[in-house]
Amino acid sequence: MKIIPAIDIINGECVRLSQGDYEQKKVYHRNPVEVAKMYEAQGAKYLHVVDLDGAKAGRIINYPILANICQATDLHVDFGGGLQSDEDLQIAFDCGAKQITGGSIAVKKPELFAAWLARYGGERILLGADVRHEKIAISGWQNITEIDLYDYLAQYIQKGIRTIICTDISKDGLLQGTSVELYQKIQTQFPDLQIVASGGVAGIADIEALQAMNIYGVIIGKALYENRITWAELQAYL
């Protein structure tokens, strides 16, 4: 199982939100590049970077930080937030992202997202499936659609998606545990889909539970910042 620390960026700083609420923002570090270097020094190989300013604005904004992280580390970075055009995608790849995660664009511009899939393949284009009550959320989680999660996944699996990052918004940032039941339902319906679990990870027991399910990867955010999970505990998974 891939251990993927997360760096969410607002105004150039490392932040975490609670349940996607921009009004419930907490700044954890002023320098995302230093955090990325620290994670790499602890043994991390992967990094999930989210441009929350971009997600809200609908265009990539914090790409200079992405470029600096990719230049300063050898981390395998996947990047999301505000990718709404071919230009945005090219900027992300030019800055060094190995993969991108498309969320809002897959809902708002499905033809364009499908074209990215056709061009770059499911290894480089990941699908962001952010959900509340099994309905897809977009635009930095500001809008909850009526799109059913399972219909959405089926549609994009047919188009070549291999990996999803699935965040249960109701769990995110609360340190109350991850959505094991949701991931089990997805696994049952789509056994070949690679699921990256995101949101709610509160301690090493959550990591153990996901590992027992053979989940493909897990994103850890606030639990690392607040030392609910230590890098010493994660060594067995790295």
Active-site annotation holds for 8: yes
The gap from C-alpha 162 to its chain's centroid, in whole angstroms, comes to: 15
Active-site annotation holds for 151: no
Q: Is the Cβ–Cβ distance between 51 and 63 less than 8 Å?
A: yes
The CATH classification of domain 2-237, taken from the options 3.20.20.70, 3.40.50.720, 3.40.1160.10, 3.80.10.10: 3.20.20.70
What's the whole-model pTM score? 0.94
Q: Which of 195, 194, 191, 190 is nearest to 180 (CA)?
A: 195
User: Of 51, 88, 130, 206, which residue is the catalytic one?
Assistant: 130
**What is the distance between the alpha carbons of residues 51 and 218, in angstroms, rounded to a whole number?**
19
- φ, ψ of residue 200 to 5 degrees: the values are 90, -5
The residue written with tokens 């055009």 in the block is 85
**What is the distance between the alpha carbons of residues 196 and 193, in angstroms, rounded to a whole number?**
10
Q: In the chain, what are the domain boundaries?
A: 2-237
**What is the distance between the alpha carbons of residues 83 and 147, in angstroms, rounded to a whole number?**
20
Task: Please tell me whether residue 39 adopts helix, strand or coil conformation.
Answer: helix
pLDDT by position in tens, the chain (length 238): 999 999 999 999 999 887 677 888 899 999 999 999 999 999 999 999 999 999 889 999 999 999 999 999 999 999 999 999 999 999 999 999 999 999 989 999 999 999 999 999 999 999 999 998 899 988 656 678 899 999 999 999 999 999 999 998 877 666 678 999 999 999 999 999 999 999 889 999 999 999 999 999 999 999 999 999 999 999 999 9
Q: Which of 133, 125, 70, 122 is nearest to 96 (CA)?
A: 70
